[in-house]
């Protein structure tokens, strides 16, 4: 792992980050990793398995489709108001002769996943192991008795994967005092809830943590903070202490109901369902995700994400120091839906070629959106630093520009190329231009390795060239803002783009490295509802100023035939700028709205021609 001095460096960085909310630096390494979680951040990619009694319903009960739009098939018991005993008639659909958890593990392995997490007990309260605590378990309803957790544990051991167990601690629809959202109307006493806790949760967790060998993680599922639930912090601590006592190496996720911030002993943060990362975090985290929508098998599922989409989610997370837990929802005969299996295998093939860019890799110091062509992951190995450029859309001109690294790479090659044939590049100051092969090497995402003899410093406050031949100066990549600085996010499904409402004299600054003399076109996009000719904008670059009064942009019909009229953002030419020589250039925009008027500023575009 890292040396002490590097750790201090990142501790310092973290503190700096907290103090400077607008800082542009971020750390590439994960400094706040509990020792236990090292295997987890190395692994990066795991399989979630939602399988249980609900799998027999396939999203339909007595001819009626699952109620409620979110269509989580594993919620059918609750949504369609099924009686506890009648629910178990769904077990008649199960074909125990074909159900074989080892096949899921084999699939995970082929898919390049390093761990699996099975719903040992979901909200329906039904245990997938032979539980002495409750008869509401799989052993009670199978002859000979089955124990799915045992079978999975054996298979994981055999195939070298870590096993995690999902356990719904908060919600349990089967136990009279377990949490059921109906209790928001018909409440129970905390003492009653504690009865459920002490007679079901604690002893069942004891069973899972004692009888099945090493458990890689317990995946809890309370997606609200405990203060808003019936569960007390004491109960959660009792549960966590039990895990620490019985299996000190077992990871615990934040859906225990305690955030990583509140209790740093929680090993990793779980994002919302199908929520992917948006910024680099210093501690381990994971997105749980589905291939379509439902977690449990749903017969009417049809919005399958493509392999590339799923792979990009994995890459995105790794580039931000996160993991991906991708779900399969097998059927009542154990089969994994074709649509899921196909995508998993395709990504598995990709990982065989490109796994180096994922396993043991993490984020890099450059900002997430520095380049519009890719995400970057990185890794330090024996003093050498490799950064991996993930390129889904091969540039038509076969040229790729990496901006922000002063050091010259020692070598560049395609990760999938076992011969490591060098890719030619030109390095100038902070821009490395790669001359790529004509053919896109990978149908999903192609990975280029850029190697440095030591960890390179980065310059983050630079605008990188966009794939559309120019530089987009936005609110995200500017180095300084004074006056109006609050970003207003996109509204009305993005018809109103993100912008700053400028209601006072304001200034924005960007820095660009331009590689050769050229003439640039300059445009600005804004919305302004006042009189034309009033107020002004001024762009200053290389001692030249381009001054212009504001133009009324009027309104726009965002969606025809409905009341969807919005203020229009239009592009206005600011003129042409001659760049005399290669070098760094500052661009400073000053906006002065007329009194009591606002200008909604969006971007400045510097076009190469």
Q: Give the interface with ligand JFZ as residue ranges (CB under 6 A).
A: 72, 74-75, 221, 223, 272-273, 288, 295
For 81, the 3-state DSSP assignment is: coil
For 152, the 3-state DSSP assignment is: helix
Which residue lies nearer to ligand JFZ by CB, 81 or 420? 81
- Residue 501 CB, shortest distance to ligand JFZ, in Å, is 30
Which residue lies nearer to ligand JFZ by CB, 147 or 221? 221
Torsion, Cα 390 392 393 399, to 10 degrees, reads 10
**Residue at token pair 């002893």:** 203
Which residue lies nearer to ligand JFZ by CB, 163 or 444? 163
- Distance from the first to the final alpha carbon of the chain: 48
- Residue 148 CB, shortest distance to ligand JFZ, in Å, is 16
- Residue 123 CB, shortest distance to ligand JFZ, in Å, is 6
Which residue lies nearer to ligand JFZ by CB, 75 or 212? 75
Which residue lies nearer to ligand JFZ by CB, 129 or 388? 129
- Residue 223 CB, shortest distance to ligand JFZ, in Å, is 3
List the one residue out of 466, 450, 432 whose CA is nearest residue 379.
450
Which residue lies nearer to ligand JFZ by CB, 298 or 353? 298
Which residue lies nearer to ligand JFZ by CB, 28 or 294? 294
For 318, the 3-state DSSP assignment is: helix
- Residue 126 CB, shortest distance to ligand JFZ, in Å, is 13
List alpha helices for 114-231, DSSP H: 148-159, 190-196, 202-211
- Residue 75 CB, shortest distance to ligand JFZ, in Å, is 6
DSSP 198: I
- Residue 122 CB, shortest distance to ligand JFZ, in Å, is 6
How many Cα neighbours within 13 Å face the side chain of 140?
A: 12
List the one residue out of 522, 499, 504 whose CA is nearest residue 587.
522
Largest CA distance in the chain: 85
Asked whether 565 and 521 are in contact (CB, 8 A), the reply is no
Residue 451 phi, psi dihedral angles, 5° rounding: -105, 140
Which residue lies nearer to ligand JFZ by CB, 223 or 394? 223
- Residue 51 CB, shortest distance to ligand JFZ, in Å, is 11
List the one residue out of 70, 73, 30 whose CA is nearest residue 54.
73
- Residue 374 CB, shortest distance to ligand JFZ, in Å, is 29
- Residue 290 CB, shortest distance to ligand JFZ, in Å, is 8
Asked whether 108 and 161 are in contact (CB, 8 A), the reply is yes
Look up residue 471 and give its two tokens.
């530089």
Distance CA 336, CA 136 (A): 25
Distance CA 477, CA 297 (A): 43
**Residue at token pair 């090659």:** 413
Which residue lies nearer to ligand JFZ by CB, 317 or 375? 317
List the one residue out of 92, 61, 93, 64 whose CA is nearest residue 74.
61
Distance CA 310, CA 329 (A): 16
Distance CA 592, CA 530 (A): 13
- Residue 168 CB, shortest distance to ligand JFZ, in Å, is 8
Which residue lies nearer to ligand JFZ by CB, 256 or 464? 256
Sign of the four-CA dihedral 334, 335, 340, 341: positive
Which residue lies nearer to ligand JFZ by CB, 10 or 72? 72
**Residue at token pair 């059921």:** 180
Distance CA 478, CA 488 (A): 15
For 280, the 3-state DSSP assignment is: coil
Which residue lies nearer to ligand JFZ by CB, 126 or 455? 126
Name the residue number minimizing CB distance to ligand JFZ: 223
Which residue lies nearer to ligand JFZ by CB, 295 or 508? 295
Q: Return the axis-axis angle of helices 202-211 and 233-246, rounded to nearest 10°.
A: 20
Which residue lies nearer to ligand JFZ by CB, 295 or 388? 295
- Residue 288 CB, shortest distance to ligand JFZ, in Å, is 5
Distances (CA, A) of 525 to 97, 289, 599, 604: 64, 37, 10, 6
- Residue 74 CB, shortest distance to ligand JFZ, in Å, is 5
- Residue 195 CB, shortest distance to ligand JFZ, in Å, is 23
List the one residue out of 556, 558, 554, 553 whose CA is nearest residue 493.
558
Distance CA 169, CA 194 (A): 12
Judged on CB neighbours under 10 Å (0-12, 13-18, 19+), 168 is buried
Which residue lies nearer to ligand JFZ by CB, 273 or 429? 273
């Amino acid at each position: 792992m890292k040396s002490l001095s590097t750790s201090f460096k990142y501790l310092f960085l973290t503190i700096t980050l907290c103090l400077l909310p607008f800082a542009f630096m971020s750390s590439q390494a994960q400094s706040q990793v509990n020792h236990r979680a090292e295997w987890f951040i190395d692994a990066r990619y795991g399989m979630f398995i939602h399988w249980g009694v609900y799998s027999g319903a396939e999203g339909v009960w007595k001819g009626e489709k699952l109620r409620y739009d979110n269509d989580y098939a594993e919620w059918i018991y609750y949504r369609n108001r099924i009686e506890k005993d009648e629910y178990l008639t769904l077990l008649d659909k199960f074909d125990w002769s074909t159900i074989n958890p080892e096949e899921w593990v084999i699939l995970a392995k082929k898919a390049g996943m390093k761990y699996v997490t099975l719903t040992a007990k979901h909200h329906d309260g039904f245990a997938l192991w032979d539980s002495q605590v409750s008869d509401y378990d799989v052993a009670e309803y199978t002859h000979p008795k089955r124990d799915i957790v045992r079978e999975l544990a054996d298979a994981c051991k055999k195939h070298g994967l870590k096993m995690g167990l999902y356990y719904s601690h908060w919600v349990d629809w089967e136990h009279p005092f377990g949490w059921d959202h109906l209790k928001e109307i018909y409440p129970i006493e905390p003492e009653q809830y504690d009865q459920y806790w002490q007679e079901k949760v604690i002893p069942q967790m004891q069973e899972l943590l004692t009888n099945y060998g090493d458990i890689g993680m317990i995946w809890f599922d309370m997606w609200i903070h405990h203060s808003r639930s019936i569960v007390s912090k004491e109960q959660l601590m009792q549960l966590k202490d039990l895990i620490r006592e019985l299996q000190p190496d077992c990871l615990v996720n934040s859906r225990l109901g305690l955030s990583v911030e509140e209790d740093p002993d929680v090993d990793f943060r779980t994002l919302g369902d199908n929520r992917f990362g948006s910024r680099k975090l210093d501690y381990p985290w994971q997105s749980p995700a589905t291939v379509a929508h439902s977690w449990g098998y749903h017969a009417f599922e049809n919005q399958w994400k493509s392999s590339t989409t799923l792979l990009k989610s994995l890459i995105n997370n790794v580039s931000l120091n996160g993991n991906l837990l991708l779900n399969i929802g097998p059927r009542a005969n154990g089969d994994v839906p074709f649509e899921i299996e196909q995508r998993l295998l395709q990504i598995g093939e990709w990982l065989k070629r490109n796994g180096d860019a994922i396993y043991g890799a993490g984020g890099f110091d450059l900002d997430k959106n520095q380049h519009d062509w890719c995400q970057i992951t990185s890794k330090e190995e024996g003093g050498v630093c490799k950064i991996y450029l993930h390129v889904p859309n091969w540039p038509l001109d076969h040229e790729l520009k990496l901006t922000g690294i002063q050091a010259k790479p020692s070598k560049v090659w395609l990760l999938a190329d076992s011969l490591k044939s060098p890719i030619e590049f030109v390095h100038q100051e902070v821009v490395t231009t790669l001359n790529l092969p004509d053919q896109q090497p990978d149908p999903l995402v192609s990975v280029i390795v850029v190697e440095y003899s030591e960890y390179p410093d980065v310059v983050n406050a630079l605008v990188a060239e966009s794939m559309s031949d120019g530089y987009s100066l936005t609110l995200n990549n500017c180095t300084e803002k004074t006056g109006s600085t609050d970003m207003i996010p996109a509204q009305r499904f993005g018809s109103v783009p993100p912008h700053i409402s400028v209601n006072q004299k304001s200034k924005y600054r960007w820095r660009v490295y331009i590689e050769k003399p050229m003439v640039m076109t300059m445009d600005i996009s804004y919305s302004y509802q006042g009189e034309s000719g009033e107020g002004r904008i001024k762009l200053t670059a290389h001692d030249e100023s381009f001054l212009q009064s504001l133009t009324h942009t009027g309104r726009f019909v965002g969606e025809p035939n409905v009341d969807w009229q919005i203020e229009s953002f239009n592009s206005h030419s600011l003129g042409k700028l001659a760049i005399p020589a290669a070098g760094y250039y500052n661009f400073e925009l000053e906006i002065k709205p007329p009194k009591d008027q606002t200008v909604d500023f969006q971007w400045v575009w510097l076009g190469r021609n």
